[in-house]
């Protein structure tokens, strides 16, 4: 066994530290849980496996807690590295898998628990939200292991799962993902946990989740307005308007708040500001402070290359005087959009605030079906400044600043949390809703 020097790259350390802190902030790790790994080339061009050390605090990583190992042989670093190093090494041996991540995704783990007698093969997890359905390939494998941490059985099973799926779950333990970059692996983990949160909240609201899953699987086009844009890995450092320092700060600050407030999973959603002939936009709106994302300047006029999400931004600006737009995927709002009112069979078409601040600012929050008339959508934005689209996220608009429009999705999440909490307590929401909301 040859003793090798620890090779630490400043760029890699910053990346591990930023993603580690973001995962702790997003509450998908505890103080010491999980691990991250990437393929890395040293100054000699040799491929190394860089992985966090066992027991390290991902939110406060020190350079010495990133281990550089040979991907093909066991050297002394294995004794300091994560106990799941063999699993990560096998994952990174796959094509287009240059990064992997393991997190304690609480919402997804709770959503995949069962009380079946063990050993058993758990049912796969099936998302009911658009991000999970499209980015995770429709379902996520779930496996039970007698030894659910660093076992040889896990080392055989998890990498094999990840050859066909971007994410896989170890029941009652955590989630593994693989990506072309560490950011993409983190993105997939966050999307998966968000899907778990949507299912959890939908269950609390009494939604028939199994039936919803069947109908989505049989016809996703009728449940989601459009597929979300595929994740990109090459554009995160792009800034088309660096000279606009104040606007850049506003985008970064708003994106950080979206991420920190759990208004949308990492690198999802979008933000834009209208200009004279162009619009400034952040197509990966949910941006932790140390990671960021692309800031683009694009024409206000439609282009063939526009994504469906960008098309909506442009059309709103073309047919209104709004100056700012934010689009988020709030799990509580998505769950409530599938719920029904007592005595009704159709999903809700509005959400009525029961909290004091929500009631002060909003008569109701409109909910539209996935396939809706754009003119109705625009009219509701004019009247309420925020609209939930079932299977399509939350859209908010403003007449001035990003701070103004950020208030809408932030309020929507709180309004939904209070309604879900009241139902958990068995309270009658109809008695709690302001009478004026019945006249919307």
Instruction: State the Cα–Cα distance between residues 109 and 129, nearest whole angstrom.
Output: 17
CA angle 333, 338, 339 (to 5 degrees): 95
Q: Where are the beta strands (DSSP E) in 134-261?
A: 142-143, 167-170, 174-179
pTM of the model: 0.94
212 in the same domain as 64: yes
CA-to-CA dists, residue 402 to 161, 223, 396, 438, angstroms = 41, 30, 10, 31
Backbone phi and psi for residue 337, each to the nearest 5 degrees, phi listed first? -65, -20
Closest CA to 13 of 76, 68, 92: 68
Classify strands 393-398 and 324-328 as parallel, antiparallel or unpaired.
Answer: antiparallel
412 in the same domain as 273: yes
Both tokens assigned to 415: 């309004």
217 in the same domain as 249: no
Is 76 part of any domain?
A: yes
Strands of the 66-69 sheet, one edge to the other: 66-69, 47-52, 35-41, 99-103, 174-179, 167-170, 142-143
Say what the pLDDT of residue 237 is.
Answer: 93
172 in the same domain as 91: yes
Q: List the chain pLDDT tens, one digit each, 440 residues.
A: 333 444 457 888 999 999 999 999 999 999 889 999 999 877 788 888 999 988 898 889 898 898 888 766 554 444 456 678 899 999 999 999 999 999 999 999 999 999 999 999 999 999 999 999 999 999 999 999 999 887 899 999 999 999 999 999 999 999 999 999 999 999 999 999 999 999 999 999 999 999 999 999 999 999 999 999 999 999 999 999 999 999 999 999 999 999 999 999 999 999 999 999 999 999 999 999 999 999 999 999 999 999 999 999 999 999 999 999 999 999 999 999 999 988 889 999 999 999 999 999 999 999 999 999 999 999 999 999 999 999 999 999 999 999 999 999 999 999 999 999 999 999 999 999 998 877 76
CA angle 222, 224, 226 (to 5 degrees): 110
94 in the same domain as 200: yes
Yes or no: say if 207 and 338 are a contact pair by the CB < 8 Å rule.
yes
Is 318 part of any domain?
A: yes
250 in the same domain as 210: no
Identify the domain boundary among 155, 189, 221: 221
Say what the pLDDT of residue 80 is.
Answer: 59
256 in the same domain as 378: yes
- The length of the chain is 440
249 in the same domain as 217: no
Q: How far is CA 371 from the centre of its chain?
A: 23
Is 235 part of any domain?
A: no
Instruction: State the Cα–Cα distance between residues 410 and 264, nearest whole angstrom.
Output: 10
Instruction: State the Cα–Cα distance between residues 140 and 416, nearest whole angstrom.
Output: 27
Say what the pLDDT of residue 2 is.
Answer: 38
Both tokens assigned to 156: 């055989």
Is 4 part of any domain?
A: no
Is 5 part of any domain?
A: no
431 in the same domain as 283: yes
- Positive or negative, the Cα torsion across 71, 75, 77, 79? positive
251 in the same domain as 215: no
CA torsion 396-400-403-404 (nearest 10°) is: -50
Is 49 part of any domain?
A: yes
403 in the same domain as 260: yes
353 in the same domain as 276: yes
Is 3 part of any domain?
A: no
| CATH number of the domain enclosing 421 | 3.40.225.10
Instruction: State the Cα–Cα distance between residues 317 and 315, nearest whole angstrom.
Output: 5
Yes or no: say if 119 and 146 are a contact pair by the CB < 8 Å rule.
yes
Instruction: Give the chain's domain count.
Output: 2
The structure tokens 């079932």 sit at 390
Instruction: State the Cα–Cα distance between residues 412 and 407, nearest whole angstrom.
Output: 9
DSSP one-letter code for 371: S
Identify the domain boundary among 221, 253, 287: 221
Is 237 part of any domain?
A: no
Range of the domain at 422: 245-439
Q: Which residues does 137 contact at the CB level (< 8 Å), separation at least 6?
A: 165, 166
Q: How far is CA 423 from the centre of its chain?
A: 25
Both tokens assigned to 76: 């002394």
């Amino acid at each position: 066994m040859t003793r090798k020097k620890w090779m630490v790259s400043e760029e890699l350390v910053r990346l591990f530290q930023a993603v580690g802190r973001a995962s702790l902030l997003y509450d998908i790790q505890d103080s010491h849980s999980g691990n991250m790994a990437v393929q890395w080339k040293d100054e000699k061009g040799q491929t190394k496996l860089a992985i966090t050390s066992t027991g390290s605090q991902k939110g406060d990583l020190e350079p010495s807690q990133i281990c550089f190992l040979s991907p093909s042989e066991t050297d002394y670093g294995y004794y300091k590295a994560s106990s799941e190093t063999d699993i990560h090494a096998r994952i990174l041996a796959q094509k287009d898998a240059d990064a992997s991540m393991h997190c304690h995704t609480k919402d997804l783990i709770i959503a995949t628990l069962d009380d079946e007698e063990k050993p058993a093969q758990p049912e796969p997890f099936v998302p009911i939200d658009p991000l999970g359905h499209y980015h995770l390939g429709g379902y996520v494998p779930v496996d039970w292991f007698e030894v659910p941490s660093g076992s040889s059985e896990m080392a055989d099973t998890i990498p094999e799962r990840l050859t066909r799926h971007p994410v896989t779950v170890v029941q009652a333990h955590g989630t593994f993902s693989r990506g072309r970059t560490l950011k993409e692996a983190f993105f997939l983990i966050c999307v998966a946990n968000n899907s778990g949160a949507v299912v959890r909240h939908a269950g609390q609201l009494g939604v028939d989740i199994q039936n919803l899953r069947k109908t989505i699987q049989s016809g996703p086009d009728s449940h989601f307005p459009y597929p979300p844009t595929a994740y990109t890995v090459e554009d995160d450092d792009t800034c088309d308007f660096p000279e606009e320092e104040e606007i850049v700060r506003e985008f970064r600050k708003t994106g950080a708040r979206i991420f920190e407030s759990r208004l949308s999973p990492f690198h999802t959603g979008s933000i834009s500001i209208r200009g004279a002939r162009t619009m400034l936009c952040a197509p990966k709106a949910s941006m932790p402070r140390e990671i960021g994302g692309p800031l683009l300047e694009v024409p206000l006029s439609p282009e063939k290359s526009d994504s469906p999400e960008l098309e909506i931004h442009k059309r709103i600006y073309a047919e209104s005087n709004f100056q700012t737009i934010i689009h988020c995927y709030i799990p509580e709002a998505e769950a409530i959009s599938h719920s029904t009112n007592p005595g009704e069979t159709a999903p809700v078409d509005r959400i009525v605030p029961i909290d004091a601040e929500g009631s002060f600012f909003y008569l109701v929050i409109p909910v539209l079906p996935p396939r809706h008339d754009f003119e109705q959508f625009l009219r509701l934005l004019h009247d309420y400044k925020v609209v939930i689209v079932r299977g399509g996220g939350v859209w908010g608009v403003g007449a001035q600043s990003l701070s103004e429009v950020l208030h809408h999705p932030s309020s929507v999440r709180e309004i939904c949390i209070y309604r879900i909490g009241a139902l958990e307590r068995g309270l009658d929401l109809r008695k709690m809703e302001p009478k004026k909301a019945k006249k919307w």
